[in-house]
Structure 1
Amino acid sequence: MIGTADIREWRDCDVMDPRGHKIGVFEAVYVDTATDEPAMVTVQVGLPSRRRLVFVPLDGAVVGPGYVKVVHDKALVKKGPAIGTDDVLPAEDEEAVFTHFGLAYRPGTAGERQLARR
């Protein structure tokens, strides 16, 4: 498991798909609020004038010198829910991120968010 402190060191590094294709640049880590373990990262993609942040799960991710390799294909990641580079993920859009990757969405018992940016 990749620890929160460890993954923060990879900010501004390349995020790669399983075939070694660059998806974009690592921007931030989101932890699962139930476990406080890293669950997803945001990746900056797009042209300089049209950048956005897409989400990608960290399950199965591998870190190397200057990169984080995730298990999801570049095309799948880039088609997923996105936010602006200065935006935060609205609570009502959180479930769509999980659904896009075929993951179970488990908010807290009182409806708390499952993801928190660290």
Structure 2
Amino acid sequence: MQTDIDPRSLIGRKAYDRNGHKIGTVDEVYLDDATGVPEWAAVRTGLFSRDAFVPLEPSELAENGLHIPYERALIKDAPDFGVGRHLSPEQELQLYRHYSLALPPAPSESPDTDFGHLAGQ
């Protein structure tokens, strides 16, 4: 997804599955803690329904809404953690697994000072 998009501009947009079927409306956008880049969206799937979390990275924003490259059934079966709360690392891991996404690299504790070990030590 384009990284120069204001996350607030996604809220209220219609969301569509890979076949162009309407899934619902973007309710919330979740940013990556480390980078501040929009990473997940919670899509309200119906008037009395729940929110389905969808990944923004493989999704595309068009004039008519957010197009998510997954089947409607997979999206509607996504874990629902409720909106308005921070996603824990465990919840994010569940979402990565649900969508069969490659896991992001683990952050290094001190990347500037880790030079490895000398052979033989």
TM-score range, shorter chain: 0.7 to 0.9
Match of 2:78 among 62, 77, 80: 80
CA RMSD, 1 decimal: 2.3
Q: Which has the higher contact order (CA 8 A, sep 6+)?
A: 1
Unaligned stretches of 5+ in structure 2?
A: 110-121
Question: Counting strand residues as a fraction of each chain, which structure ranks higher?
Answer: 1
Which runs of no fewer than 5 residues in structure 1 stay unpaired? 111-118
Off by >6 Å, runs of 4+ in structure 1 = none
What CA deviation, in whole Å up to 9, does each residue of 1:39-73 have, x standing for no partner? 11110113x33x21111111232222231111121
For 1:23 and 1:63, the matched residues in 2 are separated by: 14
TM-score, L = length of structure 2: 0.72
Computing the radius of gyration from Cα coordinates, the structure with the larger value is 2
Query: Is the 8 Å Cα contact of residues 45 and 52 (structure 2) preserved in structure 1?
Result: yes
Supply the AA of the counterpart residue of 1:57. P
CA distance in 2, matches of 1:54, 1:34: 23
Percent identity of equivalent pairs: 29
Distance 1:58 1:90, change over 3 A: closer
TM-score relative to the length of structure 1: 0.73
